[in-house]
Amino acid sequence: MTRATARAHPNIALVKYWGKRDAALNLPATGSMSMTLDVFPTTTTVTVEPGRDRDELVLGGVVQQGVPRERVERFLDLVRTASGSSARARVETENTVPSAAGLASSASGFAALAGAAAAAYGLDLDERALSRLARQGSGSASRSIISGFAVWHAGDDDASSFAEAVPAPELAMVVAMVDRREKSVSSREAMRRTVDTSPFYPAWITSTARSLEDALAAAAAGDVERLGGITETNALRMHALIQSCDPPIRYLSPVSVEIFDRVVALRAEGVAAFATADAGPNVVVICRPADAATVAAAIDDLADTVTSLPGPGMQVLDRVPA
């Protein structure tokens, strides 16, 4: 019996991943860029138990069946293939962010699972290999392996589609918890529907590839205003794209939109603040760390807020060998 525990944090994309080029390998249509948070970690323990007949997933103390368990099993199959083991495992995971509410629990979840499973099955993987592995669990998880700011290269194949660190100015993210409930359409389903039905999808791909280049240049130059502007535009383009599906999907709620408006008003007062949102109603405001309290005060009548600085990459906390 071998056991390993790993921890990873969610990340929020400044330039979003939305759409797959290859669903089997989980290769994205475009590259993306993110900041890993220092709040809401996921901690996962993988115990390899040779006598067991199927993998078990325990999430927050509750045994999971159906799709979540099967997704973990398929992921562990990748690790088993790479390590030459056929042993099944028990996976125990604790999230500190509400699951499936558009706050990237699958990113921290599969990054922590990749680290814990690789260590428990005895794979010695470098950061790039861990990022590629995490990507196959959930695309955005490739970026939660990395500390601080990361670019996930779209790549041409499995080997070239991984995340790595990029230079960026010191930023804070003020997370506005608009709604903690599970979203009604998963991002995986919504992405598929976008690719299949949105007439705007080709334009999204070309504009996002350009936005990524611009964002990386702005980040390297330490240009917060430019980077923030690209972030907000890219987020609103993604939500417009998602709304253009058939049948349509809308993740932003009236409160989300009001927060976007407040952020525009903050900018008019001279505060460099920019809003983004993933596949859910929660809004994240990007600003300089010195402005985070001002930003939080401007929106805290609308939603609870949590402020984050750039956080650590995936860490293996413990490994107990046989």
What is the contact surface with ligand DP6 in residues (CB under 6 A)?
A: 13, 16-18, 26, 32, 104, 106, 138-140, 187-188, 191, 278-279
| H/E segment holding residue 32 | strand 32-36
| Minimum CB distance to ligand DP6 smaller for 233 or for 294 | 233
Tokens of 49: 């138990």
Compute the distance between CA of residue 281 and CA of residue 219 in angstroms, rounded to an integer.
26
The length of the chain, given as a count of residues: 322
| Minimum CB distance to ligand DP6 smaller for 128 or for 188 | 188
CB of 278 to ligand DP6, least distance (A): 4
| Minimum CB distance to ligand DP6 smaller for 2 or for 187 | 187
CA distances, 62 to each of 65, 91, 94, 104, 309 (Å)? 10, 11, 10, 20, 31
CB of 205 to ligand DP6, least distance (A): 14
Helix then strand then coil, % of the chain, to nearest 5: 40, 25, 35
Geometric angle at alpha carbon 128, from 190 and 54, rounded to 5°: 65
Tokens of 285: 């405001």
Compute the distance between CA of residue 85 and CA of residue 32 in angstroms, rounded to an integer.
33
Alpha carbon 274 to its chain's center: 19
**Residue 12 region, left (φ>0) first, then alpha (ψ -120 to 50), else beta?**
beta
Query: Tokens 């230079």 — which residue?
Result: 167
CB of 276 to ligand DP6, least distance (A): 9
142, 132 Cβ separation under 8 angstroms: yes
| Minimum CB distance to ligand DP6 smaller for 104 or for 145 | 104
| Minimum CB distance to ligand DP6 smaller for 266 or for 279 | 279
Which residue's Cβ lies closest to ligand DP6?
Answer: 139
| Minimum CB distance to ligand DP6 smaller for 17 or for 204 | 17
CB of 23 to ligand DP6, least distance (A): 8
Query: Which 3 state secondary structure label does DSSP give 166?
Result: coil
CB of 319 to ligand DP6, least distance (A): 26
78, 65 Cβ separation under 8 angstroms: no
| Minimum CB distance to ligand DP6 smaller for 48 or for 102 | 102
CB of 321 to ligand DP6, least distance (A): 31
Query: Which 3 state secondary structure label does DSSP give 80?
Result: helix
CB of 104 to ligand DP6, least distance (A): 6
| Minimum CB distance to ligand DP6 smaller for 32 or for 47 | 32
Closest C-alpha among 47, 181, 77, 95 to residue 137: 77
CB of 101 to ligand DP6, least distance (A): 11
